[in-house]
Structure 1
Amino acid sequence: MKYEDIQKLQTEGQPKQIQNRQPGVEDGEVTPMPIFDDPNYKGSGKMKDKVVLITGGDSGIGRAVCVALAKEEAKVALAYRDEHDDAETTKALVEEYGGECLLIDGDIGEEETAKKTVEKAVKHFGRLDSLINNAAEQHYAEDLRDISSDQMERTFKTNIFGAFHVTKAALDHLQPGSSIVNSVSVVAYKGMPVLMDYAATKGALVALTRSLSENLVSKGIRVNGVAPGPVWTPLIPASFPKEQVEQFGTSSPMGRPGQPAELAPAYIYLASDDSSFVSGEVIHVNGGQVLNN
């Protein structure tokens, strides 16, 4: 995004707000609306006719990635839980840029649902070239004793088992030259005192990314990750108290949260052949936080 656009974002901020559902709804519920389309991003056909399955593609970072994939002429299979209106909006955005988008709903934390998600994508498009594991949820807790076993299991079920189940099913279809991109997080590297279960899942996903990369490198399949810092998405008002939502992202070195559109190019780079000599790596897109690990 252009510097003058970024300066405007730094001064606007976001008002107090909250949502009582996970992982949150974008359309008509988040103020201001997250920026998912950067008009300065011009596609160059680097994903032309590639089939990409992205989980959690209905809103937030996932929506921005879907828009960028459409600009790069990819075919998109968008998996989401039950946010039907958000998913339909994202599909319309993909089609607006001349792309094709298949919507697949269901809880990928369930193994059979994850398998069917991959099967539907492959049946519809005839192949699978790239997988982006982006679906996630997080829950605010100031004390470890406030995290129930059910909540811990639910967070791992979505964030880790969902990625595991979908990736496992996708491996039957990915070929040499294919790519897997996992959404990890800055909190996997620096921790987060009020997102302990979420941080634990993202730490596990970093380890899985590195290990799976070594496991698949001889097969010509690359595995990498993107680690967002504070990014303005529906997940934020769905997770934090109102007062913290108002101040969200202001402690970053850039003094503001990122916008989904600022993350999308990193995913395109790792999904495309531009990163043909990159595997087992994580790109940190976090507003200037230096992490040496």
Structure 2
Amino acid sequence: MNTIPFQISGKKVIVTGGGSGIGKQVALQFANQEAEVIIISRTEKQLRKVAAHHPGQLFPVTADLSRREGVEDALQQIISHWSQIDVLVNAAGAICGTSTQDPLIEAEESWQEDIGNNLTSSYFMSHVCAPYMARPGGRMINISSIAAFTGGRRPGAMSYAAAKSGLTGLTFALARELSPEGITANVIAPGFIADTDFTAHWPEVAIQGIVRETPVGRPGHVSDIAAAVQFLASDEASFITGEILHVNGGWTFGY
């Protein structure tokens, strides 16, 4: 049932990481609200399956956004569709992970992969899309993680936590630079989200351990993040910029 009242219809939206998980749900929710959405991922097959849900509203673009050349190619496809962008949602991300126990050569590879997938891609997309954002009314929304504030649930998440933490600084800088032009920039930090590829195979005992620590008493869902994104993307959120929105059921708060 469509119960979200925020004005989204007709907006031109880009969602990176739109082939699965949070990005997929965000894209579908925008399409349900009659927005036009370009979804970007490295995996063409996933993108086409998502786009099939809303032909004529969801447009797939295959690109590696951790590379400048991939971003430039994606931009050319975007501007062939639209002359103006209303909303950019940087949801692309993955976790490789590094530990102080890893040999340095392996740690370097993991570090570069996590920084590229989770931070560099968001920086590149924000950079190339900024000139095309609606002024006023543009919205940039970055998807971070609770790991940016906790360092991860267990050792071995250094590169991922660092990359997601970097999204906070990136968001603050974007807000400082673009808010005077009517473009807001905010970051969402999800907690445990049960229905993603990353968490789909977590053992039930681990999930229940998290639920016991979560005041609302349940795991998060991709729909929880999509609802938060839609609010920040709406006209009603025009006075909110440079903010961190924690969506974790109270698992951690006070940051």
TM superposition score normalised by structure 1: 0.78
Q: Could you tell me which runs of 5 or more consecutive residues in structure 1 were left unpaired when the two chains were aligned.
A: 1-39
**Structure 1 residue aligned with 2:80, among 123, 128, 134?**
123
| Superposed displacement of residue 219, structure 1 | 1.2
Matches of 1:179 and 1:218, distance apart in 2: 13
**Structure 2 residue aligned with 1:182, among 136, 139, 142?**
142
Matches of 1:247 and 1:62, distance apart in 2: 26
Q: Does the aligned pair in 2 maintain the 1:107–1:113 contact within 8 Å?
A: yes
Q: Percent identity at matched positions?
A: 28
Equivalent position of 2:34 in the other structure = 73
**Structure 1 residue aligned with 2:184, among 222, 229, 238?**
222
Deviations 1:99-128 (A, max 9, x none): 611100111001121122122112113321
**Across the two proteins, how many residue pairs are aligned to each other?**
244
| Superposed displacement of residue 194, structure 1 | 3.0
**Structure 1 residue aligned with 2:244, among 255, 264, 282?**
282
Equivalent position of 1:112 in the other structure = 69
SS of the counterpart of 1:144? coil
* Pair 1:160 & 2:119 matched: yes
| Superposed displacement of residue 140, structure 1 | 4.6
Matches of 1:168 and 1:132, distance apart in 2: 13
Q: Which amino acid aligns with 1:267?
A: V
Q: Does the aligned pair in 1 maintain the 2:84–2:134 contact within 8 Å?
A: no
TM superposition score normalised by structure 2: 0.89
Q: Could you tell me which runs of 5 or more consecutive residues in structure 2 were left unpaired when the two chains were aligned.
A: none
Equivalent position of 1:133 in the other structure = 90
| Superposed displacement of residue 80, structure 1 | 0.4
Equivalent position of 1:61 in the other structure = 22
Deviations 1:113-168 (A, max 9, x none): 11221221121133211100010010255x32325201101110111111111111
SS of the counterpart of 1:261? helix
Report the CA distance shift for 1:256/1:247 in structure 2 as closer, same or farther (over 3 A). farther
Q: Which amino acid aligns with 2:88?
A: L
**Structure 2 residue aligned with 1:268, among 230, 234, 242?**
230
Deviations 1:155-194 (A, max 9, x none): 1011111111111100121132101000011111122133
**Structure 2 residue aligned with 1:234, among 190, 197, 203?**
197
Matches of 1:55 and 1:245, distance apart in 2: 28
Deviations 1:211-237 (A, max 9, x none): 211111111110001110011210235
